[in-house]
Amino acid sequence: MKDLKELKKIEQFADQCMKCGFCSFFCPVYQEEKMETSVARGKNYLVKQILAGKQEFTHEMADIIGKCLLCKRCAANCPAKTQIDRVVVAARAELVKEKGLGAIKNFAFRKVMANRKAFGKYARLMQKFQWMMPTTEGKIKHLPDFIKGLGKRNFPSLSKTFLRDQVKPVYKPQNGEKPKMRVGFFMGCATDFVYPELGLKLIDFLTRHGVEVVVPEDQNCCGAAIYFSGDLETGRMLADLNIKAYKDLNVDYIVTACGTCSSTLKDYQKYLPDTEEQKQRYEEFEKKIKDSTEFVIDILKIPPQDFKLRKEFEGKVVTWHDPCHLVRYQNIKDQPRAILKALKGIKYVEMPNADMCCGMGGSFSVYHYDLTKKIAGKKMDGIKATGADIVVTACPGCMINLIDNVLLNKMPQKVHHFLELVE
């Protein structure tokens, strides 16, 4: 007898659906496939069928539940406030309980990503062989979807030296004065392995503004790809390890340059708790988490006009892409725009559908790369319409996907994190 524990926790959200179909106008997957199973209404219906014992966990069902970017565009526009992200994550968790993770995810999530040291070791190994990775389409055929999805894209090079090997445990304010606050820096995997300069820039920026920064060595992956795939058990383990890593550091806030990491750390309390004690612990942790964009404006209260443009960007036309994990998961949209609009020396142009998902969706883009490219194609149309030279965002995951699709579409734009634009 199945207990369907995770689905029962979110039953109320699936029940809220009024079947109005409004979500179909906003769902990037539905807009490409025009299938009822793609959109929130169809997924809610399926989950209710499972709860009523009228539907089994079949392969087809796994495919339907897997085909969601968790972009929350449907939820943001749902008149009944259905939380499809929670419905999808709970359904994926039940699938993992019943069918297991599969060999590749099991290895990637539990043996590699869940263990900081092992992750570093495998990343270094990949580094040695990355020259062999195809960077154009269609070179690897007849391989499992997972490998094909990784192999076909323009994949950024791993950094020669990972951020973890470049950082010190503590950074004092550069003015030599008493720190105005003490923050923990959370690096996240993409910043650690691919964009270490972003982490160093953030630390430099914070210490220039009188902040003391601590970087605990035993921080881990935030767990986004893992628990959004339904592996709640490993997700809880990572949540507990991360909370422990910052527990005795006496920090006022924990800041990250990755929009997905900040939202994932804040949302442990939403997706993971199994007990009331866990929920309280995750809620306490959430209060400390700040994305870099909100920290500099809302906490440090740096006036937007005080940000200085780096010389190399002078005269450029710039547009902003809203990462789903910033705009809908954390309601962060005004802070980065305020900085970009106030920066002297650039022209800011708003992109049509700036808040539309870029199509990445974590492992979604690995399993459904063709769909990712179609969804990203619409994002590329928006970028072209602005005439921008630079696309700015604040999530390394989005940066990887935007760069891939800018190259695939032979577009001239460069993609940068907002931290790269400012002095």
Q: Which is nearer to ligand SF4, 84 or 225 (CB)?
A: 84
Q: Which is nearer to ligand SF4, 41 or 417 (CB)?
A: 41
Query: Counting contacts by CB under 6 A, is residue 22 touching ligand SF4?
Result: yes
Interface mask toward ligand SF4 for 34-63; x: CB under 6 A: -----xxx--x-------------------
In this chain, which of 62, 68, 376, 415 binds ligand SF4, going by CB under 6 A?
A: 68
- Candidates 33-41, 93-101, 126-134, 212-220: pick the segment binding ligand SF4 (CB under 6 A): 33-41
Q: Which is nearer to ligand SF4, 49 or 207 (CB)?
A: 49
In the sheet that 211-214 helps form, which strands lie side by side, from edge to edge?
170-171, 211-214, 181-186, 253-256, 289-291
Is residue 14 within 8 A of residue 52, CB to CB? The reply is no
Q: Which is nearer to ligand SF4, 151 or 397 (CB)?
A: 397
In this chain, which of 6, 72, 195, 382 binds ligand SF4, going by CB under 6 A?
A: 72
How many residues touch ligand SF4 under the rule CB under 6 A: the total is: 27
387: left (phi over 0), alpha (psi -120 to 50) or beta: left
Q: Which is nearer to ligand SF4, 28 or 223 (CB)?
A: 28
Q: From the CB of 375, what's the least distance to ligand SF4, in Å?
A: 9
In this chain, which of 2, 5, 19, 287 binds ligand SF4, going by CB under 6 A?
A: 19
Q: From the CB of 364, what's the least distance to ligand SF4, in Å?
A: 8
In this chain, which of 7, 64, 65, 71 binds ligand SF4, going by CB under 6 A?
A: 71
What are the φ/ψ torsions at residue 57 (nearest 5 degrees)?
-80, 85
Q: From the CB of 70, what's the least distance to ligand SF4, in Å?
A: 5
Q: From the CB of 362, what's the least distance to ligand SF4, in Å?
A: 12
Residues between 79 and 138 that touch ligand SF4 (CB under 6 A): 79-80, 82, 84
Query: Counting contacts by CB under 6 A, is residue 321 touching ligand SF4?
Result: no
- Candidates 56-64, 78-86, 205-213, 300-308: pick the segment binding ligand SF4 (CB under 6 A): 78-86
- Candidates 57-65, 71-79, 286-294, 309-317: pick the segment binding ligand SF4 (CB under 6 A): 71-79
Q: How far apart are CA 74 and CA 82, in angstroms?
A: 8
Q: Which is nearer to ligand SF4, 33 or 389 (CB)?
A: 33
* Strand 170-171, strand 211-214: pairing: antiparallel
Q: From the CB of 61, what's the least distance to ligand SF4, in Å?
A: 15
Query: Counting contacts by CB under 6 A, is residue 69 touching ligand SF4?
Result: yes
Q: Which is nearer to ligand SF4, 216 or 323 (CB)?
A: 323
Q: From the CB of 42, what's the least distance to ligand SF4, in Å?
A: 9
Q: Interface with ligand SF4 by CB under 6 A: which residues? A: 17-23, 26-29, 39-41, 44, 68-74, 78-80, 82, 84
